[in-house]
A and B are shown apart, each in its own frame.
Chain A
Amino acid sequence: MNANERIRKLREKMVTTPQICVERAYLMTESYKETEGQPPAIRRAKALKKILEKMTVRIDDGELIVGWPTSKVRGGALLPELQWQWVLDEMDSFPTREWDRYMPLSQEEKEKLNECLPYWKGRALYDQLIGTVPEHLQKVNHIVTTSMGFSENGHHFAHVAVDYERILTQGIDEIEKEVDEQLAKVNLAELKDVDKYHFYHGIKIAFEAVRIFADRYAKLALDMAAKEKDAARKQELERIAEACKQVPAKPARNFQEALQAAWFIFMMLMIEGWGAGMSLGRADQYLNPFYLKDVEKGAINREKAHELLCLLLIKMNAVINVAGGIVATFMAGHPVMQGITVGGVKKDGKDAVNEMSYMLLDAEKEIGLNAEDLVVRVNKLSPESFVIKACETAKHLRGKLKFVSDETTIQSLLYNGIPIDHARDYISTGCHNPTIPAISHDIGGVSFNLPLMIDLALNNGASRLSGEQIGPKTGDPRKFTSFEEVMNAYKKQVEACLQVAFAYKNVDLSLYAQTPYPLQSGLYRGCIEKGLDINCGGTAPYATHTTAFIGAPNVGDSLAAIKKAVFDDKKITMAQLIDALDKDFEGAEDVQQILKSAPKFGNDDDYVDLLTREALAYACDVAVKHRTFAGIKSTNACITMTGNIPLGWSVGALPDGRKAREPLSEGGISPHQGRNVTGPTTTMRSVAKLDQVKLTNGSILNMRFGADAVKDDVKMRKFVSLLRTFCETGGNLVQFNFVSNDMLRAAQANPEQYKDLLVRVATYSAYYVELSPEVQNDIIARMEFEEV
C-alpha cells in the first residue's frame, strides 16, 4: 500500500458516527468485584491490568502505529466508577438525541451494561457526591456553574502532562527502578508510609499491565505476519512486532518506535482515566531527536516520517468522550482536545521551532480531523516561515489550530509562581491550560456563570427567571442611586457564588481522591518523589485548578449600558431598567434599543473595556484566594466550551440588551456574538486590554473570517502580522474559523455533502453537521470578517 492510499483509507474510516464500547466498563466492574476490601490504589491498578489483559486487540489493514483504545473505530468507553445510572436511563436515546449522538448499542451490549452497571449503586463517585454535597449547593448546579463535579460529567477531566521525553528515551522499566528505590525507603512502622507502600505497588502493577498490553500487540503482529501473503505487509507487521516488544518498556530506538511508545502511553492513560484534554505534550521537542538520528543513519526520509506522523494523528481520533444528555450541552461536538504543542521557546529562552514543528503542521494539514489539536506557541522569536505555515494550515482546515501568546502565558505562569525555566517549557492541555510537563497537571474546575451575577445583582440576589434566592440580598436595585452601588452588588454576588462553587467542587475533588491513577502518577516526577497519587496532590504545588469564567463580555456590556443609559446620559431610570428586564423587553423595546446602543466590548472602546476588565479582574482575585483540594493552586481562565448556551438558559434579560435565555458570549473572551462590528484589530485590542496575566489558565478568543478574506500571499502576510501583534502585545489565545455564513447554511441544508467540515466551536474543533442546531446557529451568529 502506498503512503497516500494508506493515509486516505485510514483517515476516511475515522469520519464516522462515534460508538460506545462496553469492554472497559464490564472489565472494570469484574475487577472491582474481585478486589473488594483492598486499598484504592491497588484496586485501580488491578482493574487497569484486567482491562489491558482482556480488552480487544486488533491491527487494521495498513496500520503502522498500532493500538485501539476501544473495540470500535471512533469509540468511547464508559466509566461506571464515576457515574452509571445515566447510561441505563439514556442509552436508548443515544442515536436520536439532539446533542452529540452515538451509534445504537447492540442488544448484547445493552445486556452487558444492565448486568454490570448496577454494581456501582452507592459505590460510584456521583452517588457519593449526591450524598455528601449539601442540598442547597446542589440546587444551584447548572445555574451558577456548568456541571461542577467530575463524577457528574461521567468522565475524567485530567489535563495530563506526563513526561513523554523520559518515557521515550528511558522507557518505563527505568522509571520503575526509581519506584523500587522509593519503595525500599518505605518504613511500614510509620502509618503514613502504608499508603505510600500501596501507592508504589499500584504503579508497579500498572507498569506490568502496560508491558502485558504492548506484548499482546507484539504477539498479534507476529501471528498476522506469519499468515500474511503480501511480502511488504509481512515486513511491516514484523517491524510493528519489534516495536511493540521494545516500547514503552524500553527506550525507543527509532522514530517509529518513538511514535508507537507515545501512542501506547497516551491510549493507556486514556483507558485508565478516560477524559477530554489529554495531551501528547511538546511532540516537536521530544520527537525531533529521534527523527534527526534516523535521517542521519539513512533509516528514514521526510516522506516516510510524514506518513508516520499522519498515522499518529489519525489514531488520536479513535477516542471520544461519552457524555450524558446534560453534559453534552456544555461540551457539544464530541470534543476531546488532544493537544500537541508546537513552537515556542526552549527552557533557556531560545526559539524552539525545529524540523518536527514544521512536519507536524504538514501532517495536520493533510489529516485535519476533530480530535488532534495542534497548539501553536507564538513569540517574537518565532520564525515568520513557521507562523505563516501555521496560519496557512489553519486557513486550509477552516476551523483548527490554537495560537497562543508565549509572552503572555510565560508572564502569567511566573505570576503564578512557576520558575522561569519551567514556565518556558509549558504545554497546553485541556481546553487551554498551560501546564508544565513532568511536574504538573491541570484539573478542569468550575465553569462560572458570570452574567448571572448581574442578573442577581439587579434582582436582590434572586434569579429573575425562577425567583429562587441564589445569592445574598444586595438591595432593591430600583433604589440604586449610583453606578458604584450596581458594581458593589455585582461584586457581592460574585463573592458569595464563588464560595458556593468552591464548596461543591472541593467535595467533588476529595471524593475523587478515591479513584487514584497509578499509571499516570508513575509518569510524573513529583508523585514518585512524594509517594502521592496525582489525585491526592502528587503534583502540588504546580498543579492547577481552573475557575473558568463564562460571559465576562456580557457583564462588561451590561455594566457599561447601565452606566451610560442610567447614570451618565440619564435616558432611563433604574426602575425603568428593572421593569424592562422583568418583562424581557416586551413592550420596552425602546429601553432595549437605548441599552443596545451603549458601547460594546470588542470595539476597543475604553468606556466598556475597562469595566469588563474591572469586573473580570475582581472575580479572578476572589477566585485565586480560595483554597482547593490537596494544595492544588486555584487559577483562572475565560473558557466556555459550549456552556454559554445552557448557562444562558438560566439567565434573564440583561442590561446589554440580550433577551432572557439567549446564549451568553461564546469562546471565553470573544465579544458577544455579532457585537464587534468595527473590525479585527479592535476586537483584538479589547481582549488584550484585559488583565490577561491573571488568566493563568488561558482565555479564548474566537474570530471568524470569510473564506476569501485571506485569499493571497499578500493578505496572508497581513493576517500573520495581525496574529503576531495580538500575541506580542498582551493577547492570550486566539483561534480562527475561515468559513462564511453561506457555507454554514449550505451545510445545515445538505449535511451529507459537508460531513467533514470542521468548525472551531470553542477550544476544540467539531464536525459542523454533528452539532445541534442551537450550536450551529450560535456559530452563524458570530461576527464574520469579510474581505474588506
Chain B
Amino acid sequence: MSINLSEEIVPVVLEGQVVELEKSAAELLTAPRVKLKIDGIEVEMPRATLATDPNTGRKFPRLTTVYDAAVEAKVAVPVLCHRDHMTPVAVCRFCTVEVGGRVLAAACHRAVEPGLDVKTHKTSAKVRKAIGVLTELLLADKHPPRGAHLESERDELLSVAAELGIKTDKPSRFPLTVRDRGRDESSMVIAVDHSSCILCDRCVRACNEIRNNQVLGRAGKGYTARIAFDLDNPMGESDCVSCGECMVSCPTGALSNRAVVEAKPWIGAKPAATAVNADDLLSHPLFEGISRAFLAWNIQSVVRRVYEPGEIVCREGEFGSSAFIIEEGDLEIFLDAEMKHAAKSKSSQRTGIFGLVKTVVTGLAKRETKSPDVDARRNYIPIDAPVSLEMARPIATLTPADILFGEMTCMSSYPRSATVRAKTRVKLLEIQRNVLYTLQRSKKAKSMLDDVYRKRSIDSHLRGVALFADAITNNAEFNAFVESMRDKVKLVRLNPGDTVFRQGDLADNFYLVRVGFVKVSQGRPGGEIAIAYIGPGGHFGEIALMSQLLELADKTLPGVRIATVSALDHVDLVSIAATDFLELLSRYPTIRAALLKEAERRLDQNRALTKKGSTEINLGEFLKQGLMDAQSLLVLDLEKCTRCDECTKACADTHQGVTRLVREGLRFENFLVASSCRSCLDPHCMVGCPVGSIRRRSSREIVIEDWCIGCGKCAENCPYGNINMHPFPTGKKMADPNQPGRTIPVVQQKATMCDLCSSLDGTPSCVYACPHDAAHRMTGGELMTLSIRRADRLAGTKS
C-alpha cells in the first residue's frame, strides 16, 4: 500500500536511520499514534510503519491496518488472502469487520483511524454470519487437491471453518456443482489443481512481489478467472523457475508438491510408514528454524518407519529418492559382495570420465571377477553415509549421532552405494528430496551435519583418501593427523552446475571430494574441454596452492587456478584453507611428495593435451546431448556403418515386428547415437506414469510393463525421443463404423522402448546383428573415451 501524494521529498529519522521520503509519507510516519478499539479493547497504533519494497529497495510507509491493530489487541481475525509480508489485496473478505457504515470493511486493508470502534466476528453477529456464509461458499466451490492426502491443518480454509465452528463433514447448504477447472502437471516439481484454487492471489504476489519472478498472473474474468503462467502456458513450459514460493504460499493445496500429488511407491514400502506431523518434526533439532508451514505442507514427504533387528533398510544398487534420518537405534552399513567394491575402488581413484560413470554403475552392470589392477593400498571406500567403509571389512555401524544417510541417492538419483540393515530396533525418518533440499539450506541443520563430519566422519573419510592413506601408514601418526585436521576442515555443499572456482581465480583452498562428482575443465581456443572428473575420495585445487614450491615454480602461474571446477551433481566437498594446507605440506613430507608427483603428472597431462589440439572433444555438446547420464547407448561407428539397417531389422524381429530402434539420432563426433533407450541414471520418463508401468525392475534397464495404458506421458517426457507409441492388437474386435456388419480388430496404443533385449541372453540383438562391427553398446563415459582415443589417433597420424 504505497502512498503517492506529494512530490516534495524530505529527510526524516526513522528507527535510527535517515530516510528520504515524500512529505506526506513522512508526515504519516511521524504522525502521533492513534487510539482505536477492537471489540472494546483499546489499542494505540502508529499511522504507518516504514516498509521496504523487496524489488526496488525503495522505502515507503505501510499504513497500519485494522488487522494490525487486532493482532496488537490479541483478537484473532480470520484471514485467507492476507499475509503480513505481502501487499494486502482484501479479496477473500474473511477478515471482514464492522467499522460503522453501510457495508463491512476488510481489516487487512482498512487503515487505522482515531476513534475507530471495530467489531470483529467475536462481538458482531452480522460479521460472524457473513464470514460463515463466505466459508460455506468457498467450501462448496472447491475440491480437495486431487491425489493429495489432505490434512486439515494444511488447508487453511478448513482451519478457518473449524475456528468458526462450521461443520465441514456435513453436506453443504449450497448446491455442489463444482466443475472440473482443470489440472496442470506439466511442471516436474509443482502440480496445479485449479479446482482447489480459491484465487486468494497469494501465489501471484509470491511470484511477482516476493520473488520478482514475474511469471504468475490471473487470467480470464469473473467466475472462470484462474491463475495462469505467462500467456496461460502450461507451468512446465512457462518461464517458471520452480522456486516453490507459490506452492508454499498456497493456502489450499491447489499448488502442491508433485511428490504429494503422485502416489509414490515408497509410501507403500515395508515396514509400514506412519505420518509425521510438523510439530513432531520441529521437535527434532535438525529441523529447528525450518518454516512450520513448509513442513506442514510437505507432510507427505516425511514418514517414520520402525525396523526390527535384521531388517534391511535399503540395498546396495537399488534406486531410490529418499534419505534417512536416524532417530533411534543402531544400523549396520555394508557392501554385500566382496568384489564389487574392488572394482569401485579402482575407478574412483582414476581421474577420467571412464572412472566417473563406472563408479556408479559398477555392481549393477558388471559383476566382474577380481580385477588385476586393484589398488591394494586402498583401505577405505567412500559411501553415501557419514562413514567410509574399510576395504578389508566393509561394514560399519551408524547411530543417531550420524544423523543422516542416503543423501547422494536422494539428491542425485544414484543407486544406493551400500546396504543398510537394522542392528537393533531402529526408528528412522525417511525424507524426500524437497525436505532434504530445505534442510541443506538451513543454517542449523548445516552446522549439525558439519559437526557430524568433524566428530564422526572425518576419520574414515581421510582414511579413504588415498593421498593421505598412502602417505601416512602408521596408525598412531594417522590419528594425530586426523586430530590436527579436525578443526581445519569445512564442509562445502554444491548444487549441480555450481562452480567451485574458475580458471584464473586466485587460489584460496584445497578440496577433497566427499560426495558426488566435479568436472575439471579448461577454456581453450575452440571451446571448453574437460580434463578430468573427480569423484568421492579424490582431491583438487592443489596446483595453484603449490605453485610457490620450487619444484613447480616455472611450470605454472603463481597462485592462480589453471582450470575451472564445477559440480556435476549434488556435491559435498571438504575444504582446507591455503595456510592450513601449506602447513600440512611442511609437516608431512610424504604428503608433499605425493601431491607434488600428482601435480606434476596433472601439469604434464595438461601440456600434452594442449599440444594435441585434436583432442578438443566438444564437451559442451556431450553434456547437452545428455550423454553423461547414459548407461547404455547404442553407438554406431559411422566410419564402419554401411547403413544396411540390419540392426533395425534385428530389433523388429525380437520385438513382435515393431522396431524399438530408429537408426537416426544425434551425432557426437564421428558416432551416431541411435534413438534407443539409454537407461539414464536419472530417467525423466519414469516421472508421471499414471499406472507405474514404466519402471526399473531390479537392474539398470528401464522396462515398460504390459499394463501400459498408452497415455503417452513417458514418450513425452523422454528428452531423446526414445520411447514410441505403437498400436498393438488386443485380440478384441469391434463393429466397423464405416462398413456396418463388419468388424475390425481393436488396437491399443502402448509405449515401446528398448529393453536391452533383457528377455534374451543379454546381448542386444542390434549389436549381435551388425555385420560390420559398427554397432556397440556402451556408457556415455565409454563413448567419451572412445572419441578421445580416436581424436588422439587422428592427431598422431597428422603429426
Q: Do A and B come from one complex?
A: no
